[in-house]
Structure 1
Amino acid sequence: MKKNLLYVLFLLVSGIANAQIVNIPDVNFKSFLIEAIDLFDGHPIDANGDGEIQVSEAEEVNTLIITDIYNHAPITNIQGIEFFTNVEVLNIMISQTPDIDLSALTNLESLSIEDERLVNLNIQGLINLETFNLVKSGIISLDLSLSQNLSHIGIAIAYNDDLTSLIIGNNTQLENISVNSTGLESLDLSGCPNIESFSFNFGGSHDVFLNLKNGNINFSSSFGASAYFDNNQGNKCYICIDEGEEFENVSDNVVFGSYCTFKPGGDYNTITGSINYDQFNNGCASGNLSIPLAVVRINDGTTTGYSYNTDGIYNFFTQAGTFNLTPQFENDWFTVTPATINFADNNNNESIHNFCVTSNGIHHDVEVAIIPVLGARPGFDATYKIVYKNKGNQTLSGDVVFTYNDDVLDYVSASATPATGSLTWSYTDLLPFETREVTVILNVNGPMETPAVNIGDVLTFVAAVTPATGDETTEDNSFNYKQDVVGSFDPNDITCLEGATVNPDKIGEYLHYNINFENTGTAAATFIVVKDIIDAAKFDVNTLQILDASHAMETRVTGNKVEFIFDDINLGAAEKGNVTFKIKTLNTLAVNSEVTQQADIFFDYNWPIQTNEATTTFAILSVGSFKQDSSVKVYPNPANGMVTISPKAEITWVQLYDVQGRLLQSGSGNTIDVSNRQAGIYFVKVMTDKGMKVEKLVRK
């Protein structure tokens, strides 16, 4: 008997629950539902015809359209929709409802909303949602990041500035997206690698940033006519894509680039670490120096790349595979153990490997270069940097001498008191891999001064560095620079510091290039990238060395593409910067071969500025028809007294010139006395019965 009573009680409770009536405050919404049908199978939602919607009836609905557009009274509140928990397809076309909460409809797969008064939309928790369309709403912010099964998104809020934030998040299922909105200023789709088609029409009164850098290198080629971009012609749309992607048939004001981030899109692995010099012979345990702009080479058996960084940190971003890392130096005077890194997958793994570099033998080697920072114009100041670097493995001390023609150039400022026509600085304790520099400002004579300097004239400069002990590479202990005087100049330019013509005996040797850049805009540039595509048919990209950078910088070399990345530079309006590098030409070049460098400079999300072409020809210089007698030796060099000339052949005559090319003395003996000469750079021209030789001489 007790069992029967319990059973009856259970049936009563169940019946009451199933007969529970949904609370629908808006009478127009309730009236609509009572008349509506489930479009999935056509059954009426008010299945029992009692003029109410029971919970059980709401739970039976699969496909529902809610509308007050076609001869229906306006609906202002759709409370009660939360009981339709099994609905999979929902279309809402109403005009008076500011708030819609659909968070309880966790089985919803397709949602379309058209509501001009809609301000607040809650769709959090709709994890099964696959299709979402929103038309004519007043929504300000929309977050779809939790609906990671979305494959289609369509948003059309044209001529309405209300929607200013749209968050998609990481969605590997998204295939199609269409956005038409004048309020958005940015949209990030970097976490959506499987998009197959899209359309974007922003059309607002502001610039727009769109991030499509998603790691899918075939992203653009799969679209064809399915990709559409548009924006107000008075504004710019910057679209960040993966390197190598291309899009066609877009508006002229659409700018493509890959520099929105300096990491790849999608999933990738990271290899990073530092390169340290074992200064104290303690295995780089502590207190040792990181090596700025050290070169680390990576190779996976097929592809080779390089990383340089001003702070001595290297970075590589890879996929799965085996990668061999090797620090590289300009000479073999250092020892370091290579490393091999293995990644089984590309699940954002990180490997940190620090290199410890030790000295191999005892070697002294220092180099110097002159870098033009501000061009020479008649009557204006010109700026130069004298950069010197210890390439050897011993700490060095010595002098740096900068010589110029003081008849046409007046000293303005430098870091030391100069002698006439020559500036000299002593340096001490220059550590291996250390670079120092001196900035010099000189005023150029104007056309009305005597002697006059005019546009087209050439100014000559020489810098020399003198280590206290013998240098093993004397060729780079001095640097000649000839500068054309100009009336105006492009602040974003590239210059070959050896000039437009170089003797063919320099084929296979280093050429030096300086790239200047200036922010000509009105706001600070957050980042700057200088990209140089090296002509691999004429240059050996493996020999590239960075000599100078005005700001903290990372250099990446991929194939023959070199990128100098100044991230977080914040270069203010009218502020300047530069990067200077040297690179060897191939020794297979012939006489009269031309080599050219050109760079693209990217300031934030703007169109790149293309520099001039710096072309250099390997041609015979006009030094007469004499053969060169390479046996001639001039020593000591540097000197402050007697200098000996020692050829294997008989001396015909000897001449001494200053840096301006003026003949100072001549004779036929094998010695020259320079004790009465000022410190600076001179040239000794020696003629023998075998030929001629010109040697640079430094007077200490």
Structure 2
Amino acid sequence: APNGGSTSDPTAYTTTLATYDDSTLQAMGAMNFYDFQVDLSMYAGQSISIAFVREFTQSSPTTTGNGYCLDDVRITTNTCQEPTLMYFSQITGNTMMVNWSEIGNAMQWEIHAAPCGTPPPAASTAGVVTNSQSYVLSGLTPSACYDVYVRSLCPNGGTTAWVGLPSIVTPLTPGISFCGSLFTDNGGVNGNYANNTDQTFTICPPVGGQIVGISFSQFNTEAGQDIFSVFNGLGITSPLIGQFSGNTLPPTIFSTDISGCLTIRFQSNGIVNSEGYVITLLCAQGASFKLVPFVDTNADGIKNASEINFESGNFMYSRNNGSPLPVIFNYGNFNFYDFNTANTYSFSHQVNPEYASFLSSTTTYTNQTASTPTNTLFFPITITQPFSDVSVTLHPITLPRPGFAYKLMLTLTNHGLNPLSGMLVFTKPSGVVSLSTNSLTSWITSQGFTESFTNLAPNSQMEIEITMIMDVLPNVTLGQIVSSFTTLNVNGVDDVLQNNTAEFSTSLVGAYDPNYVVEHHGPEILYSSFAPDDYLEYTLHFQNEGNFYAENVRVVDELSPLLNAQSVQFLQSSHPCQLKRNGSRLEFEFNQIFLQAKSVNEEASKGYVVFKVKPQPGYQVGTQIPNGAAIYFDFNPPIYTNVFQTLFVNALNTNTFSMASLVLYPNPTSDVLYIEVPSGAAIKAKVELCDSLGKVVYQTNMEGAQMALPIQSLAKGVYFIRIQSAAGSLMKKVIKW
């Protein structure tokens, strides 16, 4: 329909763009969904309205046939676009892979490579044609500089312009010693670097088992403009170690990548140039340990290729026969260097308590020394009983503020021994006006969203970033509790049900310090709903608000005596991190994190850790548990977070739930669930019990101050109870054993 007509008037739509009927769909095969593209190029520059019309024609008076769902409608460019997001990977002395993304409709591309300094290819220059969005260049010369270009071949003929990548130098062939030699910018030791430079170099060790390092004897670039970047591995897609500019010498940097390589990139603008950099290339024998816990499926004590690493445990170690110290890892393997090979170590491993009935770890090592190549110690985890387990967690990326985006990260992890499938259900908090996720398969609903997962492999994770826009004042009020909830339903058996749900509650804030601690239940916990085996779950956030990167970050949490330090479990972190516990002192160490300054890169200046811990036995109504942390950026004085207070109460604040005076007990339960009004006041309410997918499995009416729900016949699992009355509503998790 042309602009100006009534969009609700069917007669205003005069042009049929496309028609699809039963015969068209059946000819495409037995699929659930079809992807159709409609050409709108003839309407370029015009304002139009588009309608989707269903015409239902049937010869029989009985209504039969299929329903339909229209989904994922988008208006996109249909022109031939230049390649974008181009980068190198898998770089060797003789080969490298070129990668790019396609945002138009091209199905073929051309690659052109030439020695640095060769004129760029002309429009008439022919390249190598490929049907894939990656291409391996071969036959290259080690330690040689190349310029690489890519262009799209348009389906209707013609090509786009050539798009060039940064110049790249292939690494030296192993066996050629360069340790101790100098490496400079393109101006040499005494000259200035050139304007408009963009060069990338990958430096690898000449001998296997070594690592390379770079030590700066000169560094002077235009501050904030001409940038020297260092990446940990074989290309600029490897983790960024740091970015440097100005006239301060960067620190000596060694690779910690398995390849032992570093990749450096130098970019200058066209205004100011300076002396640049002079680097001494270093080679080191990395004396180190690698501790590998693995699930020993055939019980032979040897790690076979098919046996997976085990991540739900922690190590105990002592140095030179000192007192044992626990190191808690969430990445499975434990790697560290010790260049003093005179030190001796002892190691042991234990599985987390929730898996102790399924797995056993008894291997210990004594008087071990770091070595080159790495001293690898294997810890076989014996299966005493097969099991399956998937967990879900929620942690905050930002805190909720009126009118701003409030972000949570949902993480699904398979801790078991078999691939698992199922569905996630996320319930959004009140006060949210819109919700989206970074997953293309999320099904957004009025209550939140659902997400299916299929064959999630053991030891693997799925992460979903949730973005919610909060309503503005006065529709919401500062201090009100914002509660999110998620649950998962597994197809088949899940032997550990306690981690099948996750919730995060916090107060709506007007502003917040970026260095903060939150506990996932919120400031108040209903005493009757917190079981002896439940954990408090903390997220500690930090941000480098200085004007230079932080090479190392330590987060120190001195746990309250009201928390059981021995129950601590490390769940997640923003960067590779190790947790060391000494009594009640937790130290999260981010070594060589090179956390960027906020002024350089807002997102890269942030980090976090997530852990859980049980309260000490004996907590009761009125018990208040404090927790805070100190954050150390390099050698600077500590920055202290807020002290988060967790209070156990008889009834939650009405800002949390409008019917929070109701008490549910016992929970978990195997036969009967009681609902009670502590004040004794009689109420009339509708009561629904739903499974984890939201299906109502039992419903009744409540009249009075107490009632009992018989649930003996229900299958074991996680359920939700919804209670609605004139006074408001309440939804709560119930576990049936």
Report SS of the residue matched to 1:475: coil
Closer/same/farther in 2, CA of residues 520 and 604 from structure 1, 3 Å limit = same
Q: Does the CA-based 8 Å contact 2:293-2:332 persist in structure 1?
A: no
The equivalent of 1:261 in structure 2 is none
Q: Name the amino acid aligned to 1:632.
A: V
CA distance in 2 between counterparts of 1:667 and 1:541 reads 39
Distance of 1:474 and 1:563 partners within structure 2: 30
CA contact (8 A) 1:553 1:564 kept: yes
Q: Which amino acid aligns with 1:582?
A: K
* Matched ranges for 1:447-596 at <5 A: 447=473, 452-504=475-527, 505-507=530-532, 509-535=534-560, 537-572=561-596, 573=598, 574-575=602-603, 576-596=606-626
For the residues of structure 2 that align with 1:437 and 1:346, how far apart are their CA atoms? 35
Cα RMSD between the aligned structures? 4.4
Equivalent-residue separation in structure 2 for 1:390 and 1:346 (angstroms): 32
Distance 2:502 2:572 in 1: 15
Q: Choose which of 669, 672, 677 in structure 2 pairs with 1:632.
A: 672
**1:295 touches 1:329 (CA, 8 Å); kept in 2?**
yes
In structure 2, C-alpha distance between the alignment counterparts of 1:287 and 1:494, rounded to whole Å: 40
Q: Does 1:410 align with 2:464?
A: no
Query: Relative to structure 1, is the Cα distance of residues 357 and 440 closer, same or farther in structure 2, using a 3 angstrom cutoff?
Result: same
> For 2:733, which of 693, 696, 699 is the aligned residue?
696
Deviation at 1:635, TM superposition (A): 7.7
Match in the other structure for 1:683: 721
**Is this contact kept in 1: 2:569–2:611, CA < 8 A?**
yes
List aligned pairs for 1:223-262, cutoff 5 A: none
Change (3 A) 1:290 1:668: closer
Identity of aligned residues (%): 21
Match of 1:277 in 2: 295
Q: Which runs of 5+ in 2 are unaligned?
A: 1-215, 218-246, 252-286, 653-659, 674-687, 712-717
Which residue in the other structure is 1:601 paired with? 631
Q: Does the residue aligned with 1:387 lie in a helix, a strand or coil?
A: strand
Superposition pairs for residues 166-565 of structure 1, below 5 Å? 272-278=290-296, 283-292=302-311, 294-298=313-317, 302-308=323-329, 310=331, 312-315=333-336, 323-330=346-353, 331-332=355-356, 333-342=358-367, 352-405=376-429, 408-415=432-439, 416-447=442-473, 452-504=475-527, 505-507=530-532, 509-535=534-560, 537-565=561-589
Letter in 1 for 2:396: P
Structure 1: unaligned runs, 5 residues or longer? 1-163, 166-205, 211-268, 646-650, 656-665, 672-679, 688-692
1:271-317 CA-partner distances (Å, limit 9, x unpaired): 54222334788842225433447411236685442242536225597
Partner of 1:70: none
**CA distance in 2 between partners of 1:487 and 1:681 (Å):** 35
Summarize the Cα distance change of 1:587–1:433 in structure 2 as closer, same or farther, 3 Å threshold: farther
The separation in 2 between residues aligned to 1:681 and 1:548, in whole angstroms, is 27
- The Cα of 1:366 is off from its aligned counterpart by 2.4
Q: Deviation string for 1:601-656 (max 9, x for gaps)?
A: 122232221111112122322444868355426988335655147xxxxx98299x
**Runs of 4+ that moved beyond 6 A:** 206-210, 279-282, 316-322, 345-350, 666-671
Does the CA-based 8 Å contact 2:552-2:634 persist in structure 1?
yes
> Once the 2 structures are TM-superposed, how far is the Cα of residue 598 of structure 1 from its aligned partner?
1.3
User: Structure 1 560/311 Cα, relative in aligned 2: closer, same or farther at 3 Å?
Assistant: same
User: Quick one: distance in 2 between partners of 1:209 and 1:351?
Assistant: 31
Pairing partner for 1:653 from 690, 702, 719:
702
The question of whether the paired residues in 2 share the 8 Å contact of 1:684 and 1:696 is answered with no
Contact 2:691 2:720 in 1 (8 A): no
1:303 touches 1:559 (CA, 8 Å); kept in 2? no
Q: Cα gap change, 1:695/1:453 in structure 2, threshold over 3 Å: closer, same or farther?
A: closer
Tell me the SS of whatever aligns to 1:476: coil
Structure 2 contact 351–361 (Cα < 8 Å) conserved: no
**Which residue identity is paired with 1:445?**
D
Tell whether the 8 Å contact from 1:403 to 1:681 is kept in structure 2 after alignment: no
Per mean C-alpha deviation after superposition, the further-off stretch among 494-503 and 331-340 is 331-340
Contact 1:644 1:670 in 2 (8 A): no
SS state of the match for residue 576, structure 2? coil
CA distance in 2, matches of 1:417, 1:644: 26
Matched-pair contact (CA < 8 Å) for 2:550–2:595: yes
Q: Secondary structure at the match of 2:517?
A: strand
Residues 351, 359 of structure 2: 8 Å contact kept: no
Question: Residues 641 and 373 of structure 1: is their aligned pair in 2 closer, same or farther, counting only changes over 3 Å?
Answer: closer
Amino acid aligned to 1:653:
M
Deviation (angstroms), 1:422: 1.5
Q: Contact 2:628–2:643 at 8 Å: present in 1 too?
A: yes
Secondary structure, aligned partner of 1:342: strand
Aligned-partner residue type, residue 565 of structure 2? V
CA contact (8 A) 2:431 2:470 kept: no
> Which residue matches 1:156?
none
CA separation of 1:406 and 1:281: change in aligned 2, threshold 3 A: farther
CA deviation after TM superposition for structure 1 residue 580, in Å: 0.7
- Comparing 397-406 and 492-501, the one that deviates more: 397-406
Residues 470 and 697 of structure 1: is their aligned pair in 2 closer, same or farther, counting only changes over 3 Å? farther
Q: What SS does structure 2 have at the residue aligned with 1:385? A: strand
Q: Distance in 2 between matches of 1:306 and 1:421?
A: 41
Q: Using the alignment, how far apart are the partners of 2:444 and 2:388 within structure 1? A: 27
Instruction: Say whether the 8 Å CA contact 1:502–1:618 is kept in structure 2.
Output: yes
Could you report, residue by residue, the CA deviation over 1:486-531 in whole angstroms, capped at 9, with x for unpaired residues?
A: 1110111111111222233445531100011112122232222211
